[in-house]
Structure formats: C-alpha cells, structure tokens
Amino acid sequence: MEYRVLPEIAKLGHVAVVSTDLEKSLWFFKEVVGLEETEEVDGVHYLRAWGDFEHHTLSLTAGDESRVEHIAFRTKRPEDVGYFAELLEEAEVKVEKVPAGVEAGQGESIRFQLPTGHNFELYFEMDQTPADPSRKARLKNQTYKAWRKGISPRRFDHVNIATNEDANLIIDFLVEKLGFKVREYFKLPNGATGSAWLSVTPLVHDIAVMSSPDVKSSHELHHISYFTDNAQDILRAADILTEEGFKFIGPGKHGITQAIYLYIIDPGSGIRLELFSNSYLILEPDWKPVEWSIEEAEFAVTYWGEQTGGASELDKPTINAGGEMSIKI
C-alpha cells in the first residue's frame, strides 16, 4: 500500500507591498495599526502582528509605484512547493523559482501569475523568529506582548483581490490548481459566479475575489486584512484612527463572513486595510458554498453599519497586484 498525496496550501502567508511613501507606510502600519517589525533587510521592512508566528506577514519597501509585489501562501509540506511547481508547469503556468534568502526569513519559493496577472508566491520554509526580549510575550504560545501601541490586531487574516476580467478566471484557478474551496459566493443573473470567498483553512476566506468592469486592471488588490480578538477592538480602532485624522468605512458587519469590519487606507502606499473581527469557522468537511443573489447583495455585504461597496471615495482605490515579478529564473 503506497500513499501519494496532492500538494496542499496550508494558509495565507504574507503580502509584499511597495510604497511610494515608505516612511508614511511604516508610521501607519507600525504606530497606528501597531504591527511589530521583525527586521529590516536591504530596505525591506518585515512586519507582523503580535500573534503572528512567521517571520513576517507584511513586507514594505520603497518604490516608484505603490503596488503589491506578491501574495504568498504557505504549503502544508516542504515538498509541496516543488509538487506545485510541477503541476503548474504541466498546466503551462510559467513558474519562477526563488532561492532561499531572497526574502528574509524564507526558504526556497516559487512565484507565478494567475490568469489575470496577479502575482502569487508559494513557500514552506519560513523562520518563526522569536520576538526580541523586550517585546516578547510571557505567554509561550504568543509571539509579542499585545497592546503595546496602536490598534494592535492579533494576526494576519486574508486578502481580497479584484479584476476587471471574469472572476472565474481566478476562482477556477484557485480551486483547480491550488485546492481552495468556495465558501460563499454571489451568483450573477446569468448563472455565473460573481465574487467568491475561498479558503483552504476553516476561516471563511483566506482570499476573496471580486470582479467589476470598473476595476482598474485585471490584477488588483482590493485589501489585506488583520484580525482582532473582539468586536470592541474595532470600536477602539475607530477612536484611534479618528483621532489621527483618518477617514474610514465602518464599523459594520458583513453578512458574508459574519465579520465586524472597518476599512482604512494606508496613506503611504494607498493599500486598503480591513480590520476584521468575530466571523465564523467552517469545520464541516462537506460545506455547501453559501449562494447569494445580486438582489441580496446589500444584506450580504452590509448586514449592518456603514456601507462598503458603495460610491464612497474611500471605497474606490485598488492597488496593482500584478505586473513584472522582481525575481527572474
């Protein structure tokens, strides 16, 4: 009896962001949001939340154009990175191999583009760098002391990507090539899937996909998201942000995901951040994707609270999440 398994993705890992105003982005993510900096290597600042276990969940570097350089997922097993490379190449997806150490803390990885041009990365090896002693939690199961500054979310939660092409180009790829499961989705009047929330974990989504002809390109990032333990933390975040002079959308509660939310733009890079709490877990192995019609959209998107998805200026910007990848074979 011989076993052979398909490669699997374990979780969302991190997002690599290029900012036209790095100093402001660092102030925003470190002082206002309250992320911790693991280290700075060659101009790249590696950040994470106090409850994140990996070396980083967000990297920030300076550049001429604000963009997402790549969105990275961690595989379940070391060998899965190579297996994914094989499977993707068999499917005629161009795969770049990135040597260990190119990204601080990270082992060998592969990078490739979704059919829409979104840049993805898969890796397994990643340092679980301990916090430096002055910031290290007394709790052995927690990386940093919480509540040291700013909003202080617990951990990285999900990404939301957008395209002006057919969402199914992305959804099908995520499901068929990468093993994601659709958890909730909008069904368009023509029967096709509009937006979808997908995950490999019991989180309702590790990644969401939205499409609209109004999106700036085929490969945009709508937002990244960090999670707080309690809904009230989102209200505290609203106080902190308002006192710093920020405008934002929320707080509110999504029908889809059941999450308490607040959306805010990093004034350095223009990247949108969702602060996210509560939500629910899908532990059922035979979960039937929850289908929402367009008629239900208002309820599904904004169960209550300040509306997102509307005409607000704050609701418009997305960030290029594709284009040329920095590492070539």
What's the min distance (Å) between Cβ of 59 and its own copies?
19
Identity of residue 160? N
H or E stretch at 176 = helix 167-176
What's the min distance (Å) between Cβ of 164 and its own copies?
28
225 with 200: CB under 8 angstroms? no
224 with 58: CB under 8 angstroms? yes
What's the min distance (Å) between Cβ of 305 and its own copies?
6
Nearer to its own copies, 192 or 281 (CB): 281
What's the min distance (Å) between Cβ of 57 and its own copies?
11
108 with 99: CB under 8 angstroms? yes
183: Cα within 13 Å, side-chain hemisphere: 25
**Among 206, 195, 187, residue whose Cα is nearest residue 282:** 206
Nearer to its own copies, 54 or 103 (CB): 54
With tokens 């405008």, the residue in question is: 247
Nearer to its own copies, 75 or 160 (CB): 75
Nearer to its own copies, 25 or 308 (CB): 308
What's the min distance (Å) between Cβ of 195 and its own copies?
15
What's the min distance (Å) between Cβ of 189 and its own copies?
18
Burial of 146 (0-12, 13-18, 19+ CB in 10 A): middle
Burial of 168 (0-12, 13-18, 19+ CB in 10 A): middle
Nearer to its own copies, 240 or 325 (CB): 240
What's the min distance (Å) between Cβ of 111 and its own copies?
20
User: Residue 38 and residue 133: Cα distance in Å, rounded?
Assistant: 12
Nearer to its own copies, 235 or 325 (CB): 235
User: Residue 131 and residue 174: Cα distance in Å, rounded?
Assistant: 33
Q: Residue 205: how many CB atoms within 10 A of its CB?
A: 27
Nearer to its own copies, 203 or 265 (CB): 203
Nearer to its own copies, 50 or 173 (CB): 50
Contacting residues for 189 by C-beta, under 8 A, at least 6 apart: 294
What's the min distance (Å) between Cβ of 306 and its own copies?
4
Nearer to its own copies, 217 or 246 (CB): 246
What's the min distance (Å) between Cβ of 254 and its own copies?
10
Is residue 183 classed as helix, strand or coil in its secondary structure?
strand
111 with 70: CB under 8 angstroms? yes
User: Residue 98 and residue 110: Cα distance in Å, rounded?
Assistant: 6
Q: Residue 28: how many CB atoms within 10 A of its CB?
A: 25
